[in-house]
Structure 1
Amino acid sequence: MMVNLFSVFDPSTSMFNLSMNWTSTMLGILIMPMMFWLIPSRSLIMWNMITSTLHNEFKTLLGPNGFNGSTFIFISVFSLILFNNFMGLFPYIFTSTSHLAFTLTLSLPLWISFMIYGWINHTQHMFAHLVPQGTPAVLMPFMVCIETISNLIRPGTLAVRLAANMIAGHLLMTLLGNTGSSLSYYLMSALLLTQIALLTLESAVSIIQSYVFAVLSTLYSSEVN
């Protein structure tokens, strides 16, 4: 019972026998930018190592003709896809990377910009890509058609690869999880271990697919230089 009007401000909030009164005081520190911290956290150090490794690898793939700073575009794409892939592993969170509306939005503008830049600035080089070196003269018309088709479907393959891999794992986990209510205790234990293994596999797939998307985008951009 409230003794007086000001008793509503008395510290009384607790969870698991831990006082939660001063949690709100520390929430502002959590959103403080990392540049203002005296010593960077271990997670920030690890992320900096990952981005530095990706920068060096993408720089090698782009070659000496690549523009300075262009690797940051692909590192940003990698970070965006990786974040969305991992967010989709949590329950009741929409997995945006499993839909073509998201993946095509990433791949199509990248591919169109590469094509526009290549055909305007390196027209002869782009024509040379349509006929691989050492192709017999008889097969040249067919190779031009094949290379043109393979070039046109690149954004689609990038988008479908990412979406299909994310859908497949989530769909398998959902189908297995829906059968849990009708299983016995021993089968339920086996199902739980299977779900944990699938979740670990999906975590690896989330990293691999974001890396594959970024690497293939880098390779496509290196071909137009």
Structure 2
Amino acid sequence: MEPLVALVAGLATGLLLALTVVRARHRPVDEGGAANSRGQIDPRADQEAALARRLVDLMDPAVVVVGPDDAVLLANPSARALGVVRGSRLLVPGLLEVAREAQSAGTRRADVSLPGDLVGAGPHTVGVHGIRLGSAPHRGAGPVALVLQDVTEARRVEAVRRDFVANVGHELKTPVGALALLAEAVQGAADDPETVQRFAARMSHEADRLARLVRELIDLSRCRRPSRRRGGPLAGG
């Protein structure tokens, strides 16, 4: 599990547990029992819940916690600013699908497209990591934390890279094949200096073309090397 997702899962679990304790202790006892249990509340539970909620709210990545009934239990400001949550509902079917699959399998990763009218700046692609907050294996065992990271630019670069490599691979065949043919021609024209010179000029041209393609491949490799992250955090602001 990635450190960021592990942190979110831990905070969300702690927050939900703290809220459960607070609600249970605020619930009045039976009529035949003692007086209302408010006086027995440990203030630390309230403090822990407030701290966990504050930490989740301060996170840049959009975080949504979805319950077994598909209701949104928690959404930080980044998630609400994206418009993916309205009230207690997730508005993007793809996110809901990831949550349901994570409830069944324990964890799920997927890319989900967000409509431009939600993001407000054109369609976006988010990498979603869903993790079930609980260890029970059956579906509905517990809520799921969804962490959304913007991978729009990363996916665009990957698509450009794939197209570029495919084109370069095709273009490489031309100078390589030409050099092989020219080498054979030079060998066959060893007694004709003028022909050899003409073929040598063609070989130089094809070699320059090949060198240019190799440089472009090296430049592409250098552009990809510094960025080891899969995507940056997606903030709504």
Range of TM-score over shorter length: 0.3 to 0.5
Which has more strand, going by share of residues? Answer: 2
Instruction: Give TM-score scaled by structure 1 length.
Output: 0.33
Which has more helix, going by share of residues? Answer: 1
Instruction: Give TM-score scaled by structure 2 length.
Output: 0.32
Q: State which structure, 1 or 2, has the greater radius of gyration over its C-alpha atoms.
A: 2
